A and B are shown apart, each in its own frame.
Chain A
Amino acid sequence: MNLFKMIFLVLSISFLYGCSDAQEPDSLGYVVAIGIDKAEKEDAKYDITLQFANPVTISGGASQEGGKGGKDSIKNITVTAPSIYSAVNVANHVVSKVFTLSHTKVVVFSEEIAKTGLKDILETIGRSSDIRPNTYFTVSKSSAKNFLESVNPETEINPTRYYTMLFENDFSGFVPQNKSQDFYFFANSDEKNTVLPLSSKAEKKGTYNFSDSGYQYKLEDFSAGEIPSEKTEIQVMGMAIFDMDRYIGEMGDIETEIYNLLTGQYKSSYVTYYFSPTPDDPITVLQQQNKKPKIKVDTTEDIPKISLNVYVEADFTSSTPEMAVEEHLDEFSNEASEDLKREIESFISKTKDMKADIVGFGSYAKRNFADQKSFEDYNWKEKYPFCQVDVNVDFEVRRTGLVVRSEK
């Protein structure tokens, strides 16, 4: 027995000194973003750009100053390949690192690729244990390569943190909160259409053409790349609408904010409202959604009836010096809720025109059916463009900031 124990011990020490799958962190190339464009060469499938972190710049290397952000913290390599992993394979032979996708934060699709469909790329992402389910997908109006090359994470040392802050923060109402997992689940669904954030290299082409009244008064419904900006870097706002896995249209930043409100993913943002007694001074509020919208769908008849209740709270952040709005809170709340209601109705009408139930009313319609087959037989997507929607907005001003102009 002692001999057996000795042999077992020696064998264990010999074979268990390290795992055969172990990899040194400095031998890995951490891909933070992937860009997918249609290949320039005929017959080839994709031009895939891998953006990877430059750990020497991020950590500060041997310097005592610490890490630096900016363009130097990331590097890009573009290869032509038929899939993401074959691109990784090629890149492994070009850069002296073994690329891993376990820290990938963004996958950027060019508009052209999104229009042809993302099915095969979704297949890769679903099967991979490297790519995480909370990776962001985005459709770039400029080429994906161009977008990634324009990225300059000046404000962050860690490039993944830079993307996280861009796509997901408590004030990012202009970006749909839709991660890769949601896109993967609903890209082939009978119950709803899906969306992705729009992104672009800033093109300086925007002009201010805003509406004279309503929700987000004096603010234009910009899409990514359209905000006039001195910096020629990137912009992420608005959303790309999909029918199954194909891109069919886009919506601007204000419509995206409405989308977030209706899906209950909205957290907070600063919103300007028109107030009729002071038409030249928009009232800005910190708008929050502390209660998710209540949605009911009636499918008893052939035309579905949707009842939608949206709850919004607001705190004044700037008002007009012309009058004490605090004295007219009910008036302001009523006007604001009417404006928001009009904006929601116009948004829903646009989705009906596009035949795209992006809010996911179909998911609520499912509640009326006993089994999957009866829901499929109802053919929700065919019926959605004809649905009747009753919108109710509950808008409440809760706080007035540090100033209260009131006689009482």
Chain B
Amino acid sequence: MNTKIKLNQRQLTLLMSNLLITKMTFSFPRFLFKTSGNGAWIQAIYMSLLAYIILRLSLSFFKYTGNKSILVLSESLGKKPLKIAVSLIIAFIIIIHITTEMRTFLESVKIVLLPKTKIEYILIFFGSTVAVGALCGFNALSTINALFFPFCLFFLGSLVLFLIPTYNINNLFPVFGTGAKNIFADGLLDMHCFSDLLALNLLYPYIGDIKTIKESGTKAVLISGIALTLICLAYGLTYPYPYSTEFLLIPYQLSRMVRAGEYFQRFEALFEFVWTLTHLLYSAIYVYILCLVFQSTFKLRSARSLLPCLVALLSLISFIPASVVELLDTSSLLKRFTAPFALFLPIIIPLIYSIKHRKKGGSP
């Protein structure tokens, strides 16, 4: 399963951008506006800078670790028990992310697109598409993602441009929204939106070229940071505080505001297409990465047969919260709890490994 993975720089950049942007732009901005009010765009820039620093720190250990993922490094450091512990933490983080995104997506589809269809019915189609997508393999997924994801970015860019007539600069004031403390201190709790950077580390062993990893990671953080900031700016300029904290699906709300002439107003139809596409790719990619984690941990020859069961299991887990309100509360809590692990494991484990390596007298 793993030996066949081959990603070029463009594919890896767009794949990481998808993992970061899908969650960041569709459901996450609401949390930013809740924390910082209409100062959310400042928080978005601040968090992107922090994410960049975290990424550069995690990449700085390459000279000692090579392209070994934290799973491989943890095995070198603490044998099997540590590897299993680390892989369980990673699996938990990934499961939290997929299941909450999956459920949020399904519930939103039910609200916006298919109000009369049973959610179980939507789930079956979504789950089977994700399973089939993951079964097609990582190369197919990354190629399709590289083909379609630029369209999604183009859509987000067009949305920001089409909304220019609705912008009101006064909505961005007071400039620090709910306060500088909220942006710069409480905003740290929202760093979980960059938890997906962990996926880059897990893909290290399958990308031979270290330069590709470094450049793709940096570009992905840059693209996602710009996308998040632009969406927050567009939303903040269009929706005044405190109403900006109310809406569930921010790009959907924004696409409803587009009026390009009298006859081009239903921009949300395009949004729904882009939104479905990115979520299908996002979920399929993550399911595959989860399989890679299990395969690497338990030294399985192939984890392909795990895929359908895993998708079924994830679908069931995603339905644990009873309502959308419970889903938002629990997901926010769990993501905040797991974010330090997702962001700092790729720094701490290589750091310990590097210290140990240097103590043993190893050269970079």
Shortest distance between the CB of B173 and any CB in chain A (Å): 4
A21 with B115: CB separation less than 8 A: yes
**A364 within 8 Å of B by Cβ?**
yes
The dominant DSSP class at the B interface is loop
**A40 within 8 Å of B by Cβ?**
no
B114 with A20: CB separation less than 8 A: yes
B170 with A366: CB separation less than 8 A: yes
The dominant DSSP class at the A interface is helix
**B331 within 8 Å of A by Cβ?**
no
> A residues within 8 A CB of B178?
371-373
Q: How many A-B residue pairs have CB under 8 A?
A: 68
Per-position binary interface string of chain A over residues 1-38, scored 1 when its CB falls under 8 Å from any chain B CB and 0 otherwise:
00000001000000100011100000000000000000
A372 with B177: CB separation less than 8 A: yes
Binds B, one of A112-120, A140-148, A180-188, A203-211: A180-188
**A349 within 8 Å of B by Cβ?**
no
Interface residues of A in 105-146 (CB under 8 A from B): 126, 129, 132-134
**A367 within 8 Å of B by Cβ?**
yes
> B residues within 8 A CB of A15?
125
**A76 within 8 Å of B by Cβ?**
no
Sorting the interface of chain A by its residue count into under 10, 10 to 19, 20 to 34 or 35 or more gives 20 to 34
> A residues within 8 A CB of B265?
132, 134
Q: A184-B243, A185-B240, A372-B179 are in contact. Are A366 and B174 (CB under 8 A)?
A: yes
Q: A185-B243, A370-B176, A372-B178 are in contact. Are A21 and B117 (CB under 8 A)?
A: yes
**B246 within 8 Å of A by Cβ?**
yes
Interface residues of B in 246-278 (CB under 8 A from A): 246, 256-257, 259, 262, 265
**Listed residue (B121, B174, B257) with the most chain A CB atoms within 10 angstroms of its CB:** B174
**Listed residue (A19, A20, A184, A371) with the most chain B CB atoms within 10 angstroms of its CB:** A371
* Candidates B39, B170, B243, B256; contact of A132 at CB < 8 Å: B256
Interface residues of A in 348-401 (CB under 8 A from B): 360, 363-364, 366-367, 369-375
CB pairs A–B below 8 angstroms (19 shown) = A15-B125, A20-B116, A20-B121, A21-B116, A164-B262, A184-B243, A191-B240, A360-B170, A363-B170, A366-B174, A370-B174, A370-B176, A371-B39, A371-B176, A371-B177, A371-B179, A371-B180, A373-B179, A374-B174
B contact set with A: CB distance below 8 Å? 37, 39, 111-117, 121, 125, 132, 168, 170-171, 173-180, 239-241, 243, 246, 256-257, 259, 262, 265
